[in-house]
Amino acid sequence: MGIRLTSSALAHVQQCLQQQTQSIGLRIKVKPSGCSGYAYVLDFAEHIDEKDQVFEQEGVKVLVDTESLKVIDGTEVDYVQEGVNRFFRFNNPNVKDECGCGESFNI
């Protein structure tokens, strides 16, 4: 299944990568956190780690370590604007519950 970026997320990541000259792609991880169990962590990747799975879309690499992939496999990542706020939204089919603030989730 993997990870898929919407056209909006893809355009935003492409724009960011143009400014991050050392970066080769977007790294998505999950970490234990929050009131529901897990939180998403986004960063720019400068190299591919041994445990990374790489998903490529229109030249944009998305890197996910194998442990995180168990939790987020099948996720669609969107980039949305609500009012003056802009943020990534994760449509993860594995999520059973989310906290009220939207910062963490449970599988």
Domains for the chain: give ranges and CATH numbers: 4-106 (2.60.300.12)
Count of CB atoms situated within 10 Å of the CB of 3: 23
Tell whether the model's pLDDT for residue 9 goes beyond 80.
Answer: yes
Residues whose CB falls within 8 Å of the CB of residue 36, separated by 6 or more in sequence, listed in order: 97, 98, 99, 104, 105, 106
- Tokens representing 73 are 């496999």
Tell whether the model's pLDDT for residue 103 goes beyond 70.
Answer: no
**Helical H runs in the chain?**
7-19, 66-72
| Rounded Cα gap, residues 74 and 2, in angstroms | 5
The mean pLDDT value for 13-29 works out to: 94
Instruction: Please check whether residue 73 is in contact with residue 1, taking contact to mean a CB–CB distance below 8 angstroms.
Output: yes
pTM of the model as a whole: 0.87
Strands 60-65 and 25-33: parallel
Tell me what pLDDT residue 106 has.
75
Give the pLDDT confidence of 26-70 residue by residue, as tens digits.
Answer: 999 999 886 668 899 999 999 999 999 999 999 999 999 999 999
